[in-house]
Chain A
Amino acid sequence: MDPRGSIAELGRRMGAVVGPDHCFTAAADLLTYECDGLTHGRTRPDLVVLPGSTEEVAEVVRLARAAGRPIVPRGSGTGLSGGARPVPGSVVVGLSRMRRILEVNLRDGWMRVEPGVINLDVTRAVSGAGFYYAPDPSSQSICSIGGNVAENSGGAHCLKYGFTVNHVLGARVVIENGTVVDLGGPAPDAPGLDLLAVLVGSEGLLGIVTEVTLRLLRRPEATRTFFATFPSTDEAGEAVSQIIAAGIVPAAIEMMDRLAIVAAKAATGLDWPDVGAALLMDADGPLAEVEHTSERAVDIARRAGALEVRLPRSEAERQLMWKGRKSAFAAVGRISPNYLVEDGVIPRSDIAPVLREIEAMAKDHGLRVANVFHAGDGNLHPLVLYDARESGQEHKAEHLGGEILRMCVRYGGSITGEHGVGAEKAAYMREMFSEDDLETMRFVCTAFDPDGSFNPGKVFPATRLCGERLEREGPHPAEQAGLIERW
């Protein structure tokens, strides 16, 4: 007999709160929830519950906690770091039913939404009035605002506009004992500690967000885009450095290497040439400013060795260029049976040497790596290509991915720029942070959630600092998932 009580009984109680249709315990119903966008690690939860209101979330949290069950919050499940991956015995709290836009105030530039609202739907709701929501992760047509808050999501345009944390004005959050707490709001600089700043990006470890107030921006007057090809990533990297050095702040500047270009072409049918590297840059703002900066940037690209510069002749052509870039991840599936998406950050000025190192490491592993990345802020997305049918390749790919992350840290960068630590990279946190650094973050975590009820096994590596969780729950999920034994 499970000391936590029977799951059927918990399911019945949860069902009474959210309605029996919104609570599952049958294996077939739980299948969808075994993983998120990171599909190569799966754990079946014991129960999935889909509350429809803040009050229901609060009651669900109370019940799960009383039953001693870990709580795993989940948005759209598009995350790429296993942040919504269940742990054994857990209750997954899915927020997909909470998808109402609650209030829009264009005069003060904000919108209050439930966490299940899809990122792009925020912009869609106000685009007619000339407003938009800035953070634009590649998954923006399917990812939820709640998930964006958990991961502090970025996107191509965060170079100029910042991340989710810069665009969340307030949040309502249910903490471990079921208390509802309001943080921030439409008026700036509320007195007191800025708990909102640490809630954003806390990967579901501090509580469950049930409402979010988002900043809306007025659309810029003009956007100018260009696509430029280069013999190699060296020249493309040099062009990026010189554009930045000229005092230009691009809205986005993206780079693809040869393999990524091949993949994007295969997927979209774009007539991009076979070249060593390509840049895609957006400049936006007032018309006169943008015309000036985009002309200068094109000029710099040419002088840095661009083979060809293409300017879209219409908005449709511009969208197509971006489609090529945004589909590059999935497109890699056309040139390789399997691939891993990595997410590391390096100082932008080291792009050229880092790409050469990646190439050398890939060769050592007998694998290919396609590179698609946000060049303006040094956020790399190396796509490690492999064939799972060949024995040992998956392991080699994971090993190479790990080596790339270590190299990012060696260059003074980060193990994640936007996908989050989740379950996948918890084991790498010690590459970046000391035990004391991690302990400080732990203090923040336990202030919100003393017992570690929310999303255990994420962010923090299996720990020598917080023994109570290990004792209470047996093996750390990261251990069970094989993450910390990997190397």
Chain B
Amino acid sequence: MAERPGKDSDAILGVIPRLVFEPESLEEAEDAVARCARDRLTLGFIGGGTELGMGAAPSDLDAVLRTSRLDRVLEHAPADQIVTVEAGATLAALQAVLAPHHQWLGLDPPWPERATLGGILSTNAFGPRRARYGSARDLILGVSIVRADGTPAKAGGKVVKNVAGFDVARLLVGALGTLGLVATATFRLHPVPEAAATVLFPALDSAGVSSLAEACRAAQLEPTSLAAIADSDRFDLGVRFEGFAPGVAKQAERLLDLGRRERAAGERLGEPEARAFWGRHEAVREMGPLRAKVSAPPSGFPSVARTALTRLLGELSPAGAVFYPSLGLGYVAGRPSAVAAVAAATAEAREALAPLGGSLVVCEAPHDLRAAVDVWGAPPPAFALMERLKGRLDPDRRLNRGRFVGGI
């Protein structure tokens, strides 16, 4: 098996491993994890490296397993609309295999050319189409994993409907590789819509964004994406409809009518303009070196946006924000001015979000800011149970040690 000493480019948040495995087969991956178990080596996982900034720096990192050579599409059954893929395959490579069959995996997180399916699962990465397809948690059907002790195991299956056994596959979504190596995953696919239209409402305030999103739902429109982009306290709201052409055209028209009634002037974008809008959205999602994910029930968004988030945005330059008003999720990103001021603004935002049941997670941050802010925030109420689960699946706590919530 390809095994070599670690280099700077293998580092996870500045921590360079002694040893790097680059398995080319699932058996080699099992061997690598088993070897680490035998030698009691702490082990981290790297996919495309797009979200490596998520979580705390590892408290200990002997070895890294890179999944980049585990990149095969193992089974695509177009008639059953399922695909099984190795963890190291990139999203773009997978979509390219599916495209000739007019199908796709309904996930559209940033960096599709580099982001791997294993990484997307482990970080629960998502994009604007979550409004229609849900997140990885909603699309995953089964996984095969390599447990901390090197044992291969699987859960779920490759049919859309299946309640046999515990849903270990969904448990791994967002677990940041702390429970095992995701080796392969099976997903439910969807047909690629034949038509799309984006309607833009520029320069709304946060309350305007919310009320348009609510009006959209009240009118029984079903957009596949709603995203509001801001660089100050004004938001450009893009609403995208996708599906069969007649439905898309009619829905876009009805939304423009709705906008007029809400006194928001919208326009249906031409194809280049629509591409530009979603490109701008993508650019904000990929912005750094600080990036924070914000969650709140949708109704809480206007007040949080007006106060805490505006303040955080003010401490960044350049700065950008994206909110998904129907999901209750958003990102704030940019270059921090002063560490202390950003840390204070982050703490304030968390205080504003806590009573709503929301949260703020720092997904990417410069080194000096990490010292001043806990990237995860306070441990959740069920933390003791999470620790027990970690203890059962990784008793020596060797996988991605110290990186996840509460030091898991």
Q: Kindly provide the distance from the CB of A234 to the nearest chain B CB, expressed in whole angstroms.
A: 15
A377 to B162, CA, bound (A): 10
B165 closest partner in A (C-beta): A441
* Residue B361 CB within 8 A of the other chain: yes
Q: Select the residue from A158, A187, A202, A220 with max chain B CB neighbours within 10 A.
A: A187
Contact of B377 among A105, A154, A191, A200 (CB under 8 A): A191
Q: Which of B347-363 contact A (CB under 8 A)?
A: 353, 356-359, 361
Q: Kindly provide the distance from the CB of B301 to the nearest chain A CB, expressed in whole angstroms.
A: 10
Contact B163 A152 (CB under 8 A): yes
* Residue A349 CB within 8 A of the other chain: yes
Contact A421 B124 (CB under 8 A): no
Contact B151 A188 (CB under 8 A): no
Q: Kindly provide the distance from the CB of B54 to the nearest chain A CB, expressed in whole angstroms.
A: 11
Binary contact track A103-115/B, C-beta < 8 Å → 1, others 0: 0010111000000
Chain A residues, Cβ within 8 Å of B8: none
Q: Which of A349-406 contact B (CB under 8 A)?
A: 349, 374, 377-379
Contact B359 A439 (CB under 8 A): no
Contact A249 B168 (CB under 8 A): no
A419 to B41, CA, bound (A): 42
Contact A286 B250 (CB under 8 A): yes
Chain A residues, Cβ within 8 Å of B166: 198, 201-202, 441, 444-445, 459
Contact A414 B162 (CB under 8 A): yes
A165 to B170, CA, bound (A): 10
Binary contact track A303-335/B, C-beta < 8 Å → 1, others 0: 000000000000000000000000000000000
Binary contact track B395-408/A, C-beta < 8 Å → 1, others 0: 00000000011101
Contact A293 B298 (CB under 8 A): no
Q: Kindly provide the distance from the CB of B165 to the nearest chain A CB, expressed in whole angstroms.
A: 5
Binary contact track B106-146/A, C-beta < 8 Å → 1, others 0: 00000000000000000010000000001001100000010
Q: Kindly provide the distance from the CB of A450 to the nearest chain B CB, expressed in whole angstroms.
A: 8
A105 to B19, CA, bound (A): 52
A432 closest partner in B (C-beta): B164
* Residue B287 CB within 8 A of the other chain: no
Contact of A413 among B157, B190, B328, B383 (CB under 8 A): B157
A440 and B393 in contact, given A166-B134, A287-B250 (Cβ under 8 angstroms): yes
A441 and B168 in contact, given A108-B328, A191-B376, A191-B377 (Cβ under 8 angstroms): yes
Chain A residues, Cβ within 8 Å of B158: 347, 412
Q: Which of B149-164 contact A (CB under 8 A)?
A: 151-155, 157-164
* Residue B225 CB within 8 A of the other chain: no
Q: Choose the segment among B63-71, B74-82, B230-238 that binds chain A (4+ C-beta atoms closer than 8 Å).
A: B74-82
A197 and B170 in contact, given A189-B295, A191-B376 (Cβ under 8 angstroms): yes
Chain B residues, Cβ within 8 Å of A182: 381-382
Chain B residues, Cβ within 8 Å of A200: 167
Q: Which of A238-258 contact B (CB under 8 A)?
A: 241, 244-245, 247-249
Contact A198 B171 (CB under 8 A): yes
A22 to B6, CA, bound (A): 64
Contact of A347 among B80, B124, B151, B300 (CB under 8 A): B80
Contact B77 A349 (CB under 8 A): yes
Contact A289 B165 (CB under 8 A): no
Q: Kindly provide the distance from the CB of B160 to the nearest chain A CB, expressed in whole angstroms.
A: 5
Q: Which of A394-445 contact B (CB under 8 A)?
A: 412-421, 425, 429, 432-434, 436-441, 443-445
A286 to B244, CA, bound (A): 11
A194 and B137 in contact, given A152-B167, A348-B80, A416-B162 (Cβ under 8 angstroms): yes
Chain A residues, Cβ within 8 Å of B77: 347, 349
* Residue A183 CB within 8 A of the other chain: yes
* Residue A1 CB within 8 A of the other chain: no
* Residue B260 CB within 8 A of the other chain: no
Q: Kindly provide the distance from the CB of B308 to the nearest chain A CB, expressed in whole angstroms.
A: 14
Contact B250 A247 (CB under 8 A): no
Contact of B251 among A289, A345, A346 (CB under 8 A): A289
Binary contact track A186-222/B, C-beta < 8 Å → 1, others 0: 1111111111011011100000000000000011110
A414 and B380 in contact, given A244-B79, A245-B79, A440-B147 (Cβ under 8 angstroms): no
Contact B163 A418 (CB under 8 A): yes
Contact A108 B298 (CB under 8 A): yes
A154 to B162, CA, bound (A): 10
Contact B361 A448 (CB under 8 A): no
Chain B residues, Cβ within 8 Å of A189: 124, 174, 293, 295, 329, 359
Q: Kindly provide the distance from the CB of A125 to the nearest chain B CB, expressed in whole angstroms.
A: 18
A444 and B359 in contact, given A162-B138, A188-B295, A195-B385 (Cβ under 8 angstroms): no
Q: Kindly provide the distance from the CB of B359 to the nearest chain A CB, expressed in whole angstroms.
A: 6
Given A159-B160, A289-B248, 4 new contacts (CB under 8 A): A191-B361, A289-B243, A292-B246, A414-B162
Interface residues of B (CB under 8 A from A): 77-82, 102, 124, 134, 137-138, 145, 147, 151-155, 157-168, 170-171, 173-175, 178-179, 190-194, 214, 217-218, 220-222, 243-244, 246-251, 293, 295-300, 327-329, 353, 356-359, 361, 376-377, 379-383, 385-386, 388-393, 404-406, 408
State the 10 A-B residue pairs at the shortest beta-carbon distance, nearest first: A289-B247, A247-B191, A197-B170, A288-B250, A221-B220, A349-B79, A417-B161, A414-B162, A447-B389, A443-B392
Of the A-B pairs whose beta carbons lie under 8 Å apart in the complex, a sample of 24, sorted by A's number, is: A154-B161, A158-B161, A162-B138, A181-B382, A182-B382, A187-B353, A187-B356, A189-B329, A192-B382, A193-B178, A197-B171, A198-B171, A200-B167, A220-B220, A244-B79, A288-B249, A292-B244, A347-B158, A414-B157, A414-B162, A438-B165, A443-B392, A444-B389, A459-B166
